[in-house]
Structure formats: structure tokens, C-alpha cells
Amino acid sequence: MTQEITSGFPMAGAPRFESIDAVRQGLAGVDYLADEGISGVVYLADRLAKPVLVEGPAGTGKTELAKSVARLTGSRLIRLQCYEGLDESKALYEWNYKKQLLRIQADAGQSWEQLEEDIFSEEFLLPRPLLEAIRSPEPVVLLVDEVDRVELETEALLLEILSEYQVSIPELGTVRATQIPLVFLTSNNTRELSEALKRRCLYLHIDYPQLERERAIIETRVPGISKALADQVARIVRSIRTLDLKKDPSVSETLDWARTLVVLGVESIDVEQARDTLHILLKYQTDIERASKELSGVQAPD
């Protein structure tokens, strides 16, 4: 299984995108509205063959970005969901030792050298997401989700694959990527990632969108919403985000809210309706109270 090794840095394959604008338009085609920063970084990631580390508040479309890029480029999306306690055998590869045992028992007469060569071959290897991503012959988008959840030590597992696009298996040798996958790592920033990891990635911070972009997102993602309502929703959400809340409404919550309003047949939001449906947007009781008070104009805005 050891593949032909070309020396030096892995070369990027044929570029996937023509220009930054092409990225943006392409993403818009799959219903993901990217801004300058997002499309620029995706473009650069493709050209430099570097992974992208995406950070930002929850629900701003970090995971969605990877999915959309996969859809846009027609690649397979391989996803590695990180959690505390994730280890090599779940992320990289594992030997199928049951099968190995069977193989040993089935053929007791063989010499040991032959047997050893046999049971440590590709047939007995169980590829996990990371190995799968670089072995795949077809184009792949690799999504390492919530990378901040693994321990600092486990992060090191990722380093080889992120910088060299290869996996070293002691018994087999080094597996090189047949094509350079686009890699996205997302992080909710619950802890500082290691310098080594950050250094290998391009960094993209996705924040809550500007008013115009949020409005456009609502219009594309919520079918049947009127322009006026979308505009109103976006502006109310922006107002709410300026308040000092425990948790600001995310884009996905905004979309949920907009969908609810459409289902309820609301044409234009008044204070009453806003207050009744606010619990979709906000998840803390104190936040809801605060926002509904502010929105109905009880407190004079300072």
C-alpha cells in the first residue's frame, strides 16, 4: 500500500476556483452567501493547499461552509466529529484485529514472516475519517468539526495530515494523499488551540453577518418570505444583538424565527408578535425579558 512518494511539499492539484469572485458566486449558487473574507480565504486555501481553521460564535454557518464547499466542488464530504477522548483509532486508522486473528487461525501452517506480512496489509486496515480523506481517489472535503473539544495532546494527531497530507503507519509506511483535500477545521473557541495547529492553518473568523448579508441569507434560506418581512427580521435581530445579552441570537436562530413567522402568516411584525415568538430567537429567560422590554420601547434607548 506504500505509495510512490514524490519528494517535497505536496503540490496543489488543478485549482478548483478561478477567482475570489468565482468562489463567492459558486457558493451563492448552493445557497451559501459568503462575504469578502469567507470567499477570499476559501480561494486562498485552495491555491495554497492549506487547511482553514474557522472560528466564530455558534450558529454562524461554520459547518455549513464546509458542506457548501463540498456541494459546490462536487466532492465527497468526510466529517470527523471531535469529542473529548477521541484517539488515533477513531480518527486515523485501526487494525482489524479480529480479522487478523481469524487469518492466523485459518492458516496455521504458514511461516511467521509470511504471516506477518500478510496480516499487516491493507486488507486488515480499517480506515477512519482522516485516513479515508487522503486515500480517497475522488475529490474530498474534510471537515474536522469542533476541534477545540479534543485534548491538547490529541491535536498533535492532526498535525501530520494537515501540513503534509500524509499519514504514517508504522507497519505499512507512509500513506500520501492522492489528491489534496480541502480541509476545514471548526472551533467554538472553548479553549486556545495550540500554536502548532494554528500555524499550519489559514484563519477565518466568521462573525454575525452585516445587515444586508443577513437579509439576503434570510431571503435565500426561507422560502416564501416577503422582502419587507425579511428586512424587518434582520433589523430586529441586529437591534437585539446590540443589547448586552447572555447569548446573542445566531443566524440559524434568526432563520428559525423567520420560518416561524412565515408559517404563522405574519406579514409585518408588531411588538405583540415579536414578544410572543421571541423564545425562538433567545434561549435564556432573562434575555427574553430584557429584549421584549427593549423592543416595546418601555425603556428609553440611551
Residues at the interface with other proteins (CB under 8 A):
19-20, 36-37, 40-41, 43-44, 47-48, 50, 52-53, 55-56, 151, 189-192, 195, 198-205, 207, 211, 228, 231-232, 235-236, 238-239, 242, 246, 269-271, 274, 294-298, 301
Of 30 and 227, which CB lies nearer to other proteins in the complex structure? 227
Cβ at position 47, least distance to other proteins in Å: 4
Cβ at position 41, least distance to other proteins in Å: 4
Of 136 and 287, which CB lies nearer to other proteins in the complex structure? 287
DSSP code for 180: -
CA atoms of 292 and 74, how far apart (whole Å): 44
CA atoms of 270 and 268, how far apart (whole Å): 7
Of 41 and 266, which CB lies nearer to other proteins in the complex structure? 41
Cβ at position 16, least distance to other proteins in Å: 13
User: What CA–CA distances, in Å, run from 46 to 17, 207, 245?
Assistant: 8, 22, 38
Residue 19 burial (10 A CB sphere; 0-12, 13-18, 19+): exposed
Cβ at position 25, least distance to other proteins in Å: 14
Cβ at position 217, least distance to other proteins in Å: 17
Of 115 and 159, which CB lies nearer to other proteins in the complex structure? 159
Of 125 and 162, which CB lies nearer to other proteins in the complex structure? 162
CA atoms of 252 and 24, how far apart (whole Å): 20
Of 39 and 136, which CB lies nearer to other proteins in the complex structure? 39
Contact 147, 156 (CB under 8 A): no
What strands lie across the sheet with 140-145, from one edge to the other?
76-81, 140-145, 182-187, 52-55, 202-205
Cβ at position 266, least distance to other proteins in Å: 13
How far, in whole angstroms, is CA 199 from its chain's centroid? Answer: 18
Q: And the C-alpha cell for 41?
A: 480565504
Contact 221, 61 (CB under 8 A): no
